[in-house]
Structure 1
Amino acid sequence: MPIKREMMIRRDALEQIAINETIAPGPKDGEVLLEIEAFALTANNVTYAVVGETVKYWNFFPAAEGWGIVPVWGHARVTASRHPEIAVGERVYGYLPMATHLIVQPGKVSAGLFRDMAEHRRPMATVYNQYKRLAADPSHDPAREDVRMLFEPLFLTSFLIEDQLRRADWQGAGNVILTSASSKTAMGLAHVARAASPGITRICLTSGGNAAFVEETGLYDRVVTYDALDELEIGGKAVVVDFAGNAQLLADLAARLGEQLAYVLKVGVTHHDEGEAVPTSGPKPVWFFAPDAAAALIAEQGPEAFQAGVAGRWSGFLADADGWVTVDARRGSDALQQVWRDQVAGRAKPDVGYVMRW
């Protein structure tokens, strides 16, 4: 049997890493063994780790006490199967561990999908347990697998945020302020808002080092750096979509905008080391959880209309994203550890997307 490698993170110290090696298990009746080919590593994965306890992200791929395996999105191949409908050699896309192998128990199998029915995963949101079978996946483009891993999960969150805010008439605001605006999810939201809510002014908050990059994307009407927050002026009210997770920044925005700040939606925690407490002034932040939003929208529209709506925006986003981000493909456990530490420390470049292979 092959060697299974997995990267474990200390839950209370995300920069501490251990590489665990064991013999990859063989599948039992009804199971298949996936060999993980490649996965994206972004700030979104740091968010999974930071909120892993509260949102149960650590539960997907159990690890030793005090440690966790961070979920990622990527591609895998079936290398052993004891399931009658899943053949060896088949490739899938979905939610995977930072590891070389994964045992799944396929259920609710269709031509395009199956769901991992492992007992510990059943309480989790369906969107995280589904695997797309690439041979029958209309959105699969072999030439753009890297871009899909980097952007598709984040873009769906972006799409759902815009949909929710638009349905709420943007809380009566004419401006949206995006913190950590160089993050891929923020860029996706700016893209969708530009297309679906053109009357909303998109204001970027970013670091001085990332200002030129976000300016060049053309996604934002205005670019403001964190150290120039006292220069922020808006007409009317604003919604803040917070991808940074920095309570002091939210407090500073509340102080600057006063009654002009209508609503705060928290999505990510890219600045997790700078404070996560609830700010003491301004509207109380509301957490956004994409799986709940997706389930509600699918229930309202039906799965086909939902998928069509996402696909329509996704194709336009891909055309733009090709000009923003260069894929940096890395291989090996040393590279994986380095990229992870860079993401945790906020050192990763916004114009680079990291795709990892063992």
Structure 2
Amino acid sequence: MTISTDFLVSKSDLNQTRLAETDLGELVEGEILLEIEKFALTANNITYAVVGEQMAYWNFFPTEGGWGRIPVWGFATVAASRNPDIAEGERVYGYLPMSSHLVVQPGKVTDGAFLDMAAHRQPMNRVYNNYRRLAADPAHNPDLEEYRALFEPLFMTSFLIEAFTRRQDYFGAKSLLMTSASSKTGMALAQVAKARSPEIERIGLTSAGNVEFVEGLGLYDRVVAYDAVGDLDAATPSVVVDFAGNGQTLSAIHNHFAGNLKYSCLVGATHWDARGLADDIAGPAPILFFAPDHVVAMTDELGPDGFAAEVGKAWAGFIGDAKGWVDVIRREGGDAVGETYATLLSGKASPRDGFILSL
């Protein structure tokens, strides 16, 4: 019998949290018990909570009574196994709850990975059900584990956005506008675009207090505070990738560029409490970007090996830069997890903070 410590969030009020203990019972044939070592918590995970009902993020690690477990990315050790293909003591990387333990049912096992075949996870995209077996994972570097947890999911989203928009010739745009330019996903897109689409002008939009930090990254051609959007040349054909989820800011961009805004891409919701978007905004209708669908599409197009090679090449160039963007902050225990979550939810975390947590 294993008791898991779980960090729970109220689905109806994201400010309400509590710790709970769950008896996971005995493993049945085919299952393994993961002891969760550490996970990253970023604004991206806040987005999972904000759109938890709409995008079914609460369904990955279900609980009862109106509470949910926010999915995170991190590392775990196989603490017990009743699966002949998975040995105790093995380490994995993948999609985890904010908990101390998780029971999964490995299937489609290869040397480098397996899927959780638990029935409740099958309706969700397979990207989220995949666990990398670190002993045979070419992307694994023990010295960069914290950076992988912090950046790999965000990098993948940004890699896919860049690939998609580049293949569309940026919809005829000359400038790429990125809100929440201080966010880790924003940084990632700027770096990937700089490396793979140097012809597109990269404009980072951020709060006035973060302008100096964002300029210091050297990732953007220009950095503009939100209240200075009106100073941008509205005649320049542009696309916007909105990581912030702030309806007022996005409306201002749409109304300023109007017909010269060629595409509007919705990704995240770092400003989770200001998501309302005016009904009468100018320009194109914003379109939600769901990264897992693009993973499947590119994999089908390039084949698994071709997709992995393209991602791997971009990741190798990315991670060397990313190490210099954040300070890793390691915190342990339920109180620390709660305090960190509250800081991120309120938007008060420094853009240099890279939180690695454990319960």
Normalising by structure 2, report the TM-score.
Answer: 0.98
Matched, 1:306 2:311: no
Shift of 1:278: 5.4
* Count of aligned positions: 358
Residue matched to 1:355: 356
Equivalent residue for 2:258? 258
C-alpha RMSD of the superposition = 1.1
Partner residue, 1:163: 163
Give 1:16's aligned amino acid. Answer: Q
- Partners of 2:21 and 2:90 in 1: how far apart? 25
Cα deviation for residue 115 of structure 1 reads 0.4
3-state SS of 1:37 partner: strand
For 1:343 and 1:76, the matched residues in 2 are separated by: 23
**1:179/1:204 contact within 8 Å kept:** yes
Corresponding residue of 1:52: 52
Q: Would you say the 8 A contact 1:93–1:132 is kept in 2?
A: yes
Larger mean CA deviation between 68-77 and 256-265 belongs to: 256-265
Q: Is the 8 A contact 2:203 2:223 kept in 1?
A: yes
Give the structure 2 partner of residue 342 of structure 1: 343
Q: Give me the whole-angstrom Cα distance separating, in 2, the residues matched to 1:229 and 1:81.
A: 55
Distance apart, 1:219 and its partner CA: 0.5
**Quick check: 330-339 or 17-26, which moved more?**
17-26
| Residue aligning to 2:106 | 106
| 8 Å CA contact retained: 1:251, 1:279 | no
Unaligned runs of 5+ in 1: none
SS at match of 1:52: coil
The 8 Å contact of residues 25 and 103 in structure 1, kept in 2 or not, is answered as no
Q: Distance in 1 between matches of 2:290 and 2:135?
A: 30
What is the deviation of 1:63? 0.9
Report how far residue 213 of structure 1 moved.
1.1
Find the residue that maps to 1:194 and give its secondary structure. Answer: helix
User: Deviation of residue 234 (structure 1)?
Assistant: 5.4
Tell whether the 8 Å contact from 2:176 to 2:203 is kept in structure 1 after alignment: yes
Give 1:264's aligned amino acid: S
2:189 corresponding residue in structure 1 = 189
How far apart, in 1, do the equivalents of 2:259 and 2:308 lie?
A: 38
Within 5 Å, give how 1:239-278 maps onto structure 2: 239-277=239-277
C-alpha distance in structure 2 between counterparts of 1:111 and 1:271, whole Å: 40
The separation in 2 between residues aligned to 1:278 and 1:29, in whole angstroms, is 53
Distance 1:184 1:37 in 2: 22
SS at match of 1:296: helix
Instruction: Please report how far the alpha carbon of residue 308 of structure 1 lies from its aligned counterpart in structure 2 after TM superposition.
Output: 0.8
CA distance in 1, matches of 2:129, 2:95: 7
> What CA distance in whole angstroms lies between the structure 2 residues aligned with 1:53 and 1:345?
20
User: Residue 286 of structure 2 corresponds to which residue in structure 1?
Assistant: 285
d(CA) in 2 for partners of 1:256, 1:216:
27
Match of 2:8 in 1: 8
Is the contact between residue 278 and residue 284 of structure 1 (CA under 8 Å) also seen in structure 2?
no
Stretch moving more, 18-27 or 123-132: 18-27
Q: Provide the C-alpha distance between the structure 2 equivalents of 1:118 and 1:38, rounded to a whole number of angstroms.
A: 22
One-letter code aligned to 2:333: G
Q: Does 1:330 align with 2:328?
A: no
Q: Which moved more, 1:248-257 or 1:46-55?
A: 248-257
Contact 1:247-1:279 within 8 A present in 2 as well = no
Q: CA deviation at 1:231?
A: 1.8
Find the aligned partners of 2:235 and 2:315 in 1 and give their Cα distance.
31
AA at the equivalent of 2:210: N
Q: Deviations over 1:188-247 (max 9, x none)?
A: 111111111111000010011211111011000000001222222255200000001112
SS at match of 2:20: strand
- Counterpart-to-counterpart distance in 1, 2:105 and 2:276: 37
> Quick check: 1:278–1:285 contact (8 Å CA) kept in 2?
no
Q: Could you tell me which amino acid in structure 2 is paired with residue 178 of structure 1?
A: M
Partner of 1:209: 209
2:322 maps to what in 1? 321
Percent identity between the two aligned chains: 53
Q: What is the DSSP-based 3-state SS (H/G/I as helix, E as strand, rest coil) of the residue aligned with 1:355? A: strand
Deviation at 1:3, TM superposition (A): 2.9
Structure 2: distance between partners of 1:98 and 1:280: 39
SS of the residue 1:14 aligns to: coil
3-state secondary structure, aligned to 1:348: coil
> Retained in 1: the 8 A contact 2:112–2:136?
yes
**Most deviating of 128-137 and 222-231:** 222-231
User: Is 1:238–1:260's contact at 8 Å kept on the other side of the alignment?
Assistant: yes
Aligned to 1:26: 26
Q: Give 3-state SS (helix, strand or coil) of 2:53's partner.
A: helix
Distance 1:130 1:347 in 2: 32
Report Cα offsets for 1:262-308 as digits up to 9, x if no partner: 11000001112013345421211000000000100000000111111
Shift of residue 345, structure 1, vs aligned partner: 0.9
Write the distance in 1 (CA, Å) between the matches of 2:301 and 2:245: 31
What is the CA distance between 1:315 and its match in structure 2?
Answer: 1.1
Gaps of 5+ in 2: none
